[in-house]
Amino acid sequence: MSEAVQSAGWRLKFAGAALVISILAVLWFAAAALGTKYGVWGWQFGLGKMTIAWGAFVAIPAVIIAVAALIAGFTKAPRTKPVILALGATLIAFMLLFRLLGFGAQATSLPPIHDIQTDWDDPVRFSEALLAQRKSDDAMNPVEDAPVIPEAPAVEERWPGMGGRLVSEVQEEAEQPKTVDGDDVAPAYVRPIEPYYFDQSPGEIASYATRLADARGWTIFTRPETGEDVQQTMLEATATTGWFGFKDDIAVRIRAVDGATRVDMRSISRVGLSDLGANARRVSSFMDELADRANGRPES
C-alpha cells in the first residue's frame, strides 16, 4: 500500500465503511421487494414495513454517514481515494432517499384506487374462471361493478374525504385538471381512460390485442376468438410487476357496436388500496399502442 493511501488513515476506512453501509441499504430494499416476490414474507411486511415504515430509518442514516465521510475526505491531503469512496456512498444513499421520498409523494398525489376501466356504466366483467383463480391465489381486492373506497382512519389521514366515494367518480376526477389555490394543476392521470373504436372486425382487433399482450409479457388467461364472424370476444391476462411480484388482472372486451368495433379495458390489482397509478398507466399505454397499430380513435 502506498504512503499516500496509508496516510489517509481513518478517513479512508470511514469512507469505505460509508460505501458499504450505502450498498447494504440498497440490499435492504432489494430484499424487501424480492422477498415479497418469492414468498419469503407477505407484501404487508415487504412493502408496508420494510419499505414504507422502516425505509427512512435505513436511508437517512446512510445519507448522514456518507456526507460525514465526504466532508472528512476533504479535510486534508491525500483526498483522492477517501473522496471517491465517500462520493460513491453519498450518491447511492441520496438516490435511495430521493426514491423513497418520491414514492411517498406519489402515493399521496394519486387517488387511493386500484381498479381502473374505460366503462363504468357497463362494467367490463371478468370470467368466472379468472375470478376463481384470483380467489385461489388469495386476492384481497374484490371485483365489483361499483366499488367504493373503504372508510378507514388510514384512508382519511392520507386522502381526506375519499372514504366512501365511488371509485368511478374518483377515477373521473383524476382524469381532469383542477385548480388549487388559484393555480392550475395537471390531472393525476395523463389522459382520460376511455374506450377506442376501430373499423376492423372484432376478430381482427382481437389478434392485434393478443400480440400486444404477448409482447408485454402478460400471462394470458383467456385468449380471444379471432374468426371473421366473431361479434364479441374477451382477452383476459395477468401482469406481474418486476420487483415485488404484484399481480394485476386485465380484461379487454372487444365487440361490434354501431358498425364499428369498440374496445374497453379493465385492470385491477389483487392486493393493496392504492396502485400508485400502475393500472391507469397500463390501460392508457395498451389502448394507445392498440390504436396506433390499428388506426383506432377515442370515443371523444
pLDDT the model gives residue 188: 85
- Phi-psi region for residue 102, left (φ > 0), alpha (ψ -120 to 50) or beta? alpha
> Is residue 141 a contact partner of residue 272, using CB atoms and an 8 Å limit?
yes
Who contacts 43 (Cβ-Cβ below 8 Å, separation ≥6)?
A: 36, 244, 246, 271, 272
Phi, psi of 262 (to 5 degrees): -100, 135
Cis amide linkage into residue 187, ω under 30° from 0: no
Span 137-153, average pLDDT: 95
Span 106-115, average pLDDT: 90
Instruction: Say whether pLDDT at 5 is over 80.
Output: no
Instruction: Say whether pLDDT at 179 is over 70.
Output: no
- What does the alpha-carbon distance between residue 227 and residue 77 come to, in Å, rounded to a whole number? 76
List, for residues 71-83, the tens digit of each pLDDT value. Answer: 999 998 888 999 9
- In single-letter form, the type of residue at position 34 comes to L
Who contacts 127 (Cβ-Cβ below 8 Å, separation ≥6)?
A: 221, 222, 234, 236
Cell numbers for 282, please give them. Answer: 397500463
- In single-letter form, the type of residue at position 200 comes to Q
Instruction: Delimit the domains of the chain by residue range.
Output: 3-109, 115-298
- What does the alpha-carbon distance between residue 41 and residue 34 come to, in Å, rounded to a whole number? 10
Q: Is 209 exposed, middle or buried (0-12, 13-18, 19+ CB in 10 A)?
A: buried
List, for residues 247-282, the tens digit of each pLDDT value. Answer: 999 999 999 998 999 999 999 999 999 999 999 999
Cell numbers for 210, please give them. Answer: 393478443
Instruction: Say whether pLDDT at 229 is over 70.
Output: yes
Helix, strand or coil, per DSSP, at residue 85:
helix
Looking at per-residue pLDDT, the higher value among 97 and 7 belongs to 97
Span 86-95, average pLDDT: 97
Span 43-58, average pLDDT: 95
Give the pairing of strands 178-180 and 196-198. unpaired
- Phi-psi region for residue 119, left (φ > 0), alpha (ψ -120 to 50) or beta? beta
Instruction: Say whether pLDDT at 99 is over 90.
Output: yes
pLDDT the model gives residue 2: 46
pLDDT band with cut points at 50, 70 and 90 for residue 299: confident
Give the pairing of strands 219-222 and 232-240. antiparallel
Instruction: Say whether pLDDT at 3 is over 50.
Output: no
| Average pLDDT across the chain, whole number | 92
pLDDT the model gives residue 184: 64
> At what angle are helices 80-109 and 55-74 packed, to 10 degrees?
150
- What does the alpha-carbon distance between residue 32 and residue 35 come to, in Å, rounded to a whole number? 5
Max mean pLDDT among 63-67, 71-75, 295-299 falls in: 63-67
pLDDT the model gives residue 6: 53
pLDDT the model gives residue 286: 97
CA separation (Å) from 34 to 23, 85, 102?
16, 28, 20
Who contacts 103 (Cβ-Cβ below 8 Å, separation ≥6)?
A: 51, 52, 276
Q: Which of the following CATH numbers is that of domain 115-298: 3.30.310.80, 3.90.550.10, 3.60.15.10, 3.40.50.300? A: 3.30.310.80
